Amino acid sequence: MVNREQVFLASYGELGEADRCAEVCHDLYEVLAASEADSSLYSLVAVFPAQANHTEKAFERALWDQLKGMHEVDRNLFSWDSCVSEEPTDPEFSFSVGGAAWYVVGLHPASSRMSRQFAVPTLIFNRHAQFVALRDQGRYNQMRDRIRERDVQLQGSVNPMLKDHGDVSEAIQYSGRAADTEWSCPFVQRQLS
C-alpha cells in the first residue's frame, strides 16, 4: 500500500476474490488508524488489475461480492458504524468497515458514465465522516455542485444515480450504473451468530 498524503493506493488481484476481501479490510483498518492518529480524513483507492473486462452489471455484481466478503471478514471484529444505517434500503445507509462508515465509488472501463471510467476495476473508499465535516464547514454543497457541473461538461448531464445522503440509499450509487426502480441491493448485513 502506498500513502500519498491523504490518499492510500493499493493493488489487489481480482475484485470479489475472498483473499482480496481480507486484504482490503486490513488496508482500510490502516487508513482508519492513520486518520484517527492525526484527525485527517483519508481515502483508499483499491485497484483490481487482474479482473477481466466487465459489463456494467457484471462489475456491479463483483463490487457487491467484494463488499459482502469484506463484511464477512469485518463483522466478527467490529460493529457497524452507529452514525449510519446498516440496512441498504435506508436513506441513511453507508457501508461500514472497522466500525467506520465509507462511501464507495466504483470505477471500471465499461462504465456508461465517463466520470466513472478507469483502466481497471477500482473501488474508492471515502470516509463518511469527511462528508459530514464538509457539511459542518458549509463546503459540501459547493463541492457537490462543482462535481455535478463537471459531469455536465463531460457528458452533457448529471449522473441520474447521484443523490444527496439521506435522500435515497447510497447503495444504488456505488457501481455508477443507471439502475431502474426495480433494483434491489444484493447486500444483507449479517448479525453475529
Q: How confident is the model at residue 158 (pLDDT cuts 50, 70, 90)?
A: confident
pTM score: 0.89
pLDDT for 190: 60
Q: Contact 42/8 with Cβ under 8 angstroms?
A: yes
| DSSP β-bridge partners for residue 101 | 96
Q: Among the residues of the chain, which ranges form H helices?
A: 18-38, 56-74, 128-136, 140-155
pLDDT tens across 10-57, in order?
A: 999 889 888 889 999 999 999 999 888 776 778 999 999 986 667 999
The residue with cell 462528508 is 131
